Amino acid sequence: METVKPTKHAAGNQGAGSRHQANEKLTSAEQGKLWATYIGNTMSVCVLGHMLNHVEDQEIKQVLLNARHLSEQFVQTIKDIFEQEQFPIPKGFTKEDVNPGAPRLFEDEFYLHYLKYVGKAGISLYGIAVPLVTRADVRDFFTQAIDSTVKFLNQVNEVLIDKGLLTKPPYIPYPNRVDFVAKQSYLNGLFGDVRPLQALEITHLYDNLENNATSKAILIGFSQVARLEKARDFFLRGKEIVSKHYDALDKVLLQEDLSSFEIFDPLVTTSTVAPFSDKLMVFHKLDMFMVRVRAYANALSMSARRDIAAKYGRLLLDVGKYVEDGANLLIDQGWLEQPPQAIDREALAHR
């Protein structure tokens, strides 16, 4: 399988960095997005390293190697920018957060689904950053990070297809003609005449089913190996939430006689030995549920039927509360690293 090659800047090329003026400091958007990307990719390096210790399929191993290489290059490039700016290097996640002797927690097939899951999250993070960052070297980094991640996701899909593991969204017939909405009943969902789902609604229902299926398998695995009782309870509650959400979205597709998405629960092993620290695992699920907020909100914005929009609104409330509780757990344990923040002028005035 062809290796995804990082872009010149992602590989440490400093040419782009030399284009910004010496007095051009990092904006709040640049600080925040670089910081979040650094934290997330240090976590990925740890997770992917454990997976590489156990993967047996050589094609899947190559995809994992590509993923780790990209994450390592992203981390190094951001570290170079921060050092240049005399910006404190975040702690993120290190070898201390990995147990190299732990047995595998997931089967090889699940690694591909996991990579697709985190790749979508990466594109979301980098895509939001591009229009907000202005310094040339930072803009180049995020632009090229998107390009590298898109190419990588295409490789993941190619391997899934080659192995017969890729489940496609439902097929619907082509329209016979161009048409326009004539009645407000098009928006119905709870009462009156309810139209069939349109393509965009199906797309996001399917995407969120896939996300929940992947998330559920991760939560099952993490709940088996968590050492801290509060962390284990957090994962078990997350499992209940994603199971409920999966069933709710699955029901909508099945009511329309559309194909759904299979769960990945059988791809979790019976290991009870933690491959990662509780800190890493709690942060991982907090981070991915924060991405779920964006996914649900995006789906809501694309859903014209009132019943579908209302359903996403309820799911968002569940996710929002879970994210808050996860943040509180990290804070209670002293695990939540603080992002860069504005100056507290009032505190300075009363020093």
Q: What share of the chain is helix, strand, coil (3-state, %, to 5)?
A: 65, 0, 35
Work out the average pLDDT over 195-210.
94
Q: What percent of the chain has pLDDT over 90?
A: 81
Work out the average pLDDT over 7-30.
62
The answer to whether residue 327 scores a pLDDT higher than 80 is: yes
* Paired tokens of 31: 């600080």
Distance CA(3)–CA(223), nearest Å, equals 34
Of 151, 129, 92, 139, whose CA–CA distance to 279 is shortest?
Answer: 92
310-326 pLDDT, tens digit per residue, is: 999 999 999 999 999 99
What pLDDT, on a 0 to 100 scale, did the predictor assign at position 310?
92
The answer to whether residue 245 scores a pLDDT higher than 60 is: yes
DSSP-derived 3-state class of residue 159:
helix
How do the domains of the chain map onto residue ranges?
26-162, 195-332
Neighbours of 22 (CB within 10 A): 6
What pLDDT, on a 0 to 100 scale, did the predictor assign at position 12?
44
What pLDDT, on a 0 to 100 scale, did the predictor assign at position 11?
42
Q: Do domains 26-162 and 195-332 have the same CATH topology?
A: yes
Mean pLDDT score of the chain, rounded to an integer? 91
The answer to whether residue 155 scores a pLDDT higher than 60 is: yes
* Paired tokens of 90: 């975040």
* Paired tokens of 58: 């050589």
The answer to whether residue 20 scores a pLDDT higher than 80 is: no
What pLDDT, on a 0 to 100 scale, did the predictor assign at position 9?
46
What pLDDT, on a 0 to 100 scale, did the predictor assign at position 187?
75
Q: What percent of the chain has pLDDT over 70?
A: 92
What pLDDT, on a 0 to 100 scale, did the predictor assign at position 260?
84
Which of 22-26, 141-145, 161-165, 182-186 shows the lowest per-residue confidence on average (mean pLDDT)? 182-186
Give Cα separations from 265 to 105, 212, 223, 268 (angstroms).
Answer: 12, 11, 13, 6
* 317 CB-contact burial (10 Å; exposed 0-12 / middle 13-18 / buried 19+): exposed
Work out the average pLDDT over 339-351.
84
Res. 189 pLDDT band, cuts 50 70 90: low
The answer to whether residue 6 scores a pLDDT higher than 60 is: no
Q: Regarding predicted confidence, which is higher, 24 or 78? A: 78
Work out the average pLDDT over 238-245.
98
C-alpha count within 13 angstroms, C-beta hemisphere, residue 349? 3
Res. 15 pLDDT band, cuts 50 70 90: very low
Q: Please check whether residue 138 is in contact with residue 81, taking contact to mean a CB–CB distance below 8 angstroms.
A: yes
103-135 pLDDT, tens digit per residue, is: 999 999 999 999 999 999 999 999 999 999 999
Residue in this structure with the two tokens 């229902």, named with its chain if needed: 205
pTM: predicted TM-score of the whole model, two decimal places: 0.90
One-letter amino acid for residue 173 of the chain: P
Sign of CA dihedral 35, 41, 44, 46: negative
Write b or e for each residue in 74-95: b if 16 or more Cβ atoms lie within 10 A of its Cβ, otherwise e.
bbbbbbbbbeeeebeebebbee
The CATH code for residues 26-162 is 1.20.1260.10
Q: Regarding predicted confidence, which is higher, 257 or 15? A: 257
**Could you please report the per-residue DSSP string of 2-46?**
PPPPPPTTTTT--TTGGGS-TT-PPPHHHHHHHHHHHHHHHHHHH
Sequence-distant (≥ 6) Cβ neighbours of residue 144 within 8 angstroms: 6, 7, 8, 9, 10
What pLDDT, on a 0 to 100 scale, did the predictor assign at position 347?
81
Work out the average pLDDT over 158-170.
94
Q: Please check whether residue 267 is in contact with residue 105, taking contact to mean a CB–CB distance below 8 angstroms.
A: no
* 32 CB-contact burial (10 Å; exposed 0-12 / middle 13-18 / buried 19+): middle
The CATH code for residues 195-332 is 1.20.1260.10
